[in-house]
Amino acid sequence: MTPTDETPELPPRQRRLLFRALHRGTKECDLMLGGFVRRHIASLDPAALEELEAILEMPDVDLADWLSGRRPIPPEARGPLLLRIAAESATPGAGKPDHLR
């Protein structure tokens, strides 16, 4: 990935997390999770980056259900970042590529 106005040059850890978020394996997660990470990766603090690493280990099926509101996020998976991603995913137009919003 090359830097753009939306994704300025990032440290290696953040570049790796962004790549993983954008290449989940299901289009739905790529759009919801990847879109959120692309918009916010540069401003995430170390604790949020750790939570993001844990989120990226979660199965796509669960994440897609939680982020779309089909199922509630279970208490053992809840964290500030996942709740923030879910809240943003619930807004109109969430999941659409940024250029189509």
Residue 56 included in any domain: yes
Residue 45 included in any domain: yes
Q: What is the DSSP string of 19-81?
A: HHHH-SSSHHHHHHHHHHHHHHGGG--HHHHHHHHHHTTS-HHHHHHHHHTSSPPPTTT--HH
What's the rounded Cα separation, in Å, for the pair 13 and 56? Answer: 13
Question: What's the pTM value of the predicted model, to 2 decimals?
Answer: 0.84
Q: What is the CATH number of the domain that holds 70?
A: 1.10.150.250
Count of alpha carbons within 13 angstroms of residue 63, beta-carbon side: 24
More confident residue, 94 or 29: 29
Instruction: Examine the pLDDT at 89 and tell me if it is beyond 70.
Output: yes
| Sign of the alpha-carbon torsion through 77, 83, 85, 86 | positive
Residue 97 included in any domain: no
Residue 4 included in any domain: no
Residue 98 included in any domain: no
Q: Please identify which residue in the block is written with the tokens 């990935």.
A: 1
What's the CA angle centered on 60, arms 69 and 73, to 5 degrees?
Answer: 35
Q: Which stretch of DSSP H or E encloses residue 14?
A: helix 12-22
Q: How many domains does the chain have?
A: 1
Residues of the domain holding 55: 12-90
Per-residue pLDDT tens over the stretch 26-84: 898 999 999 999 999 999 999 999 999 999 999 999 999 999 999 999 999 999 999 99
